[in-house]
């Protein structure tokens, strides 16, 4: 049990360090940086930062599903006490919710968090750089 807790803690710390490095380099989302298309989780980090600043209204505007990772962490901690059926239904529900929120946000042209701008991607810029040379 202690090894699993230590591994989970190590994993969470590694993710935090990874994202801190990305922010330091000017990237907010690795998928968006490479493709120019936002991922379904875009806005999640900004939502948590807003929550730390005690701005839940702003947090929900960045990503309305931002509480779910914390709920997943609790579910992981108590996974042995949860019925298998509950875990499966919960996972499907979360995936459907993320997909629906992503589609709605992607279809909203006024949403500047979830965007589709392939010309801003690293791939496109590299392509232009190679073509112009």
Confidence at residue 52, expressed as pLDDT on a 0 to 100 scale: 92
Please compute, for residue 106, the number of CA atoms within 13 A of its CA located in the half-sphere on the CB side. 16
Task: Give the tokens for residue 79.
Answer: 């996974």
Report yes or no: 113 and 42 within 8 Å, Cβ to Cβ.
yes
Q: Distance between CA atoms of 64 and 16, rounded to whole angstroms?
A: 21
Confidence at residue 1, expressed as pLDDT on a 0 to 100 scale: 54
**Domain edges within the chain:** 2-132
Report yes or no: 37 and 126 within 8 Å, Cβ to Cβ.
no
Task: Give the tokens for residue 34.
Answer: 């490479």
Q: What is the pLDDT along the chain (133 residues), one digit of tens a residue?
A: 577 778 888 888 988 888 787 778 777 777 888 888 888 888 888 899 999 999 999 998 889 998 988 888 888 888 888 888 888 888 899 889 989 999 999 888 888 888 888 888 888 888 888 887 6
> What is 51-110 written as a DSSP string?
HHTT-HHHHHHH-TTTTHHHHHHHHHHTGGGS-HHHHHHHHHHHHHHHHHHHHHHHH-TT
**Four-residue CA torsion sign, 56, 57, 63, 68:** positive
pTM of the predicted model as reported, rounded to 2 decimal places: 0.68
């Amino acid at each position: 049990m202690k090894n699993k807790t230590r591994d989970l803690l190590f994993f969470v710390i590694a993710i935090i360090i990874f994202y801190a490095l990305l922010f330091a380099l000017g990237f907010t989302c690795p998928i968006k940086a490479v493709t120019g298309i936002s991922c379904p989780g875009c806005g999640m980090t900004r939502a948590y930062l807003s929550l730390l600043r005690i701005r839940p209204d702003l947090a929900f505007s960045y990503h309305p599903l931002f509480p779910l990772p914390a709920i997943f962490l609790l579910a992981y901690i108590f996974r042995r006490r949860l019925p298998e059926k509950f875990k499966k239904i919960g996972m499907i529900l979360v995936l459907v919710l993320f997909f629906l929120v992503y589609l709605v946000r992607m279809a909203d042209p006024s949403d500047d968090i979830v965007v589709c701008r392939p010309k801003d991607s690293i791939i496109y810029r590299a392509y232009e750089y190679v073509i112009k040379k």
